[in-house]
Amino acid sequence: MKKHWLRGMLLGVSMALLLAGGVAVAAGLYVIADKDCVNCVPTGAVPGEDNFITIEFGGWTAGDYLCNRWTIDSQVYHPTYCFTWTFPPPAGAPPFYFPCEGAMPQDVSFLGGEFRAANSIDSYLGQHTITFWEENPPGTKVDEAKVSFLVAEDCFAAMFVPEPGSILLLGSGLAGLAGYATLRWRTRE
């Protein structure tokens, strides 16, 4: 029994690392984009399926005090807006798209209301980040949800680099499982 302690420890640590690196369990507020990257629509073109993005959000209850902000490459697109949500959250915003240049050709229904940029936007290209948070009481943040997606002329050409911390956790977990399997294989002989 004593000679198998290392094997048990390695299995436990490996499983914990895999869970930490591979699964993010969110409790409370959430905001999800159905794509990591969306192609913008060139001037005069008709939007296709690869041009539309859908944002889903929820996790609050009626009466919660919510705030939201939208940035493009860390520049404010829609400034912080706070309000008391008086009814259950909607299922999500209808699909919408971004032009490659010029003004937004459609109204974006967001959180049950029309969403308009606070300032004129020259380009929608870049990393979009939508942040929601709950304050209780107002001024004290208690929960937060965030989603990011890229708007590009060609998503296929855009290169994504995974978050280094997640890769490290996932790789460590897989290496630990390989070590566990090796130790188990050696004890069979």
Give yes or no for residue 92 having a pLDDT over 50. yes
Which residue ranges make up each domain of the chain? 25-159
Read off the pLDDT band of 106 (50, 70, 90). Answer: low
The more confident residue out of 130 and 107 is: 130
Quick one: what percent of the chain has pLDDT higher than 70? 70
HEC sequence for the chain:
CHHHHHHHHHHHHHHHHHHHHHCCCCCCCEEEECCCEEECECCCCCCCHHHCECEEEECCCCCCEEEEEEEECCEEEEEEEEEECCCCCCCCCCCECCECCCCCCCCEEECCEEECCCCCCCCCCEEEEEEEEEECCCCCEEEEEEEEEEEECCCCCCCCCCCHHHHHHHHHHHHHHHHHHHHHHHHHC
Lowest mean pLDDT of 113-127, 140-154, 161-175, name the range.
Answer: 113-127
Q: Which residues contact 60 (CB under 8 A, 6 or more apart)?
A: 28, 29, 66, 85, 89, 134
Structure confidence at residue 128 (pLDDT): 92
Q: With beta carbons less than 8 A apart as the criterion, state whether 98 and 104 touch.
A: yes
Structure confidence at residue 110 (pLDDT): 57
Read off the pLDDT band of 91 (50, 70, 90). Answer: low
Structure confidence at residue 149 (pLDDT): 94
The pair of three-digit structure tokens given for residue 14, joined into one six-digit string: 């490996």
Structure confidence at residue 77 (pLDDT): 81
Per-range mean pLDDT, top range of 8-17, 18-27, 81-90, 127-136 = 127-136
Residue range 62-85: average pLDDT? 86
The domain defined by 25-159 carries CATH number 2.170.270: no
β-pair partners for 38: 151
Give yes or no for residue 20 having a pLDDT over 60. no
Structure confidence at residue 23 (pLDDT): 41
